[in-house]
Amino acid sequence: MNYPSPDSTPPPYGQQPYPQVPPPPGAPQSGPPADPYAPYGSAPQYGTGQQQYGTGPQYAASQPYSAPPQQTPPGGYGVPYQQGPPPPSGTNGFAIASLIFGVLGGILFGFIFGFVALSQIKKRNQNGRGMAIAGIVLSSLWTLAICAGVAIAVIAGANADTTDTTGGDDTSVHSLRIGDCLNDLSTEDEIEELPVVPCTELHDGEVYAEFKLTESTFPGIEAIEKKADPRCADLLKSYAPKAVDDPAVDTYYLYPTSESWAGGDRAVTCIATFDPARTGKLKG
């Protein structure tokens, strides 16, 4: 059997010659030996004893590159998971204190604790915002109420200062003291009370003396007047000598009635009256 010369048929360009592998000793030979120069990659033909190897893939030399197939973009992404805020960590103590002081009228503490609570609640994620606001609101209402009360008191005091000379605290005639300044000196037969005012304000009279009657029984109105007129005039001279010659000053006195005499009243109270009303003390 003739075998082609190794140099007679060159292998295809770019392929190495496939060397022939001799069969193992004692292997039966059913056909001619395989061609060592058969193309690489040909499939073997079974039953002939000769193997053929096929060629590799052929590549086009000048085939233009095509764009890769365009893939369908994936579907839209879902909304990322967002974790919610942590649960509140209890009720703020300053908010509770603000509400308590707001109810009780602790204005200063209600304001301070309320604003501190609002600041802490936001930072610490606590409950109690409503209580803090309620404490501040109640403290504001207390403040408005106090301001209104002060304003009313000031207006009332101003009105009292501008009233006529009949103002003053009503005082029992049995409780009058020397130096008291009076208003609304009445000419009625019986007087139980008279308004006492500060002597720095306008007043109609001033108490300057008092003496006791010594009779054992009620002497009657005329007897009392006969004794009281000269006695009060003399006492005025010793209390305020300049007032005796003042035509704007006159004398006025209070004396017991039969009813008060039975109750132990024996005092005659001498009062200097002014026309017109004046301010200041008569004595001095």
What integer is the mean pLDDT of 73-93? 61
What DSSP assignment string belongs to 89-131? -SB-HHHHHHHHHHHHT-HHHHHHHHHHHHHHHHHHT-B-HHH
Query: What pLDDT sits at residue 109?
Result: 84
232 has pLDDT over 90:
yes
**What value does the mean pLDDT of the chain take?**
76
- What is the per-residue pLDDT across 13-60, written as a single tens digit (0 to 9) for each? 555 555 555 555 555 555 555 555 555 554 455 444 444 455 555 544
> Of the given ranges (95-109, 114-128, 152-166, 247-261), which has the lowest mean pLDDT?
152-166
The answer to whether residues 85 and 125 touch, using CB atoms and an 8 Å cutoff, is yes
Selected residue with higher pLDDT from 15 and 149: 149
What integer is the mean pLDDT of 145-169? 71
Q: How many Cβ atoms sit within 10 Å of the Cβ of residue 47?
A: 8
- What is the per-residue pLDDT across 126-144, written as a single tens digit (0 to 9) for each? 888 888 898 899 899 999 9
Q: What are phi and psi of 40, to 5 degrees?
A: -70, 135
Selected residue with higher pLDDT from 66 and 215: 215
Selected residue with higher pLDDT from 31 and 250: 250
pLDDT class of 72 with cuts at 50, 70, 90: low
Using a CB cutoff of 8 Å and minimum separation of 24, what contacts does 58-65 make?
none
pLDDT class of 166 with cuts at 50, 70, 90: very low
Selected residue with higher pLDDT from 279 and 45: 279
Query: What pLDDT sits at residue 1?
Result: 47
Query: What pLDDT sits at residue 164?
Result: 45
Query: What pLDDT sits at residue 122?
Result: 82
Query: What pLDDT sits at residue 210?
Result: 94
By CB atoms closer than 10 A (0-12, 13-18, 19+), residue 31 is: exposed
Nearest Cα to Cα of residue 254 among 214, 213, 215, 202: 213
196 has pLDDT over 50:
yes
Query: What pLDDT sits at residue 118?
Result: 87
Its pTM stands at 0.42
pLDDT class of 264 with cuts at 50, 70, 90: very high
The answer to whether residues 173 and 269 touch, using CB atoms and an 8 Å cutoff, is yes
Selected residue with higher pLDDT from 60 and 103: 103
246 has pLDDT over 60:
yes
Query: What pLDDT sits at residue 162?
Result: 47
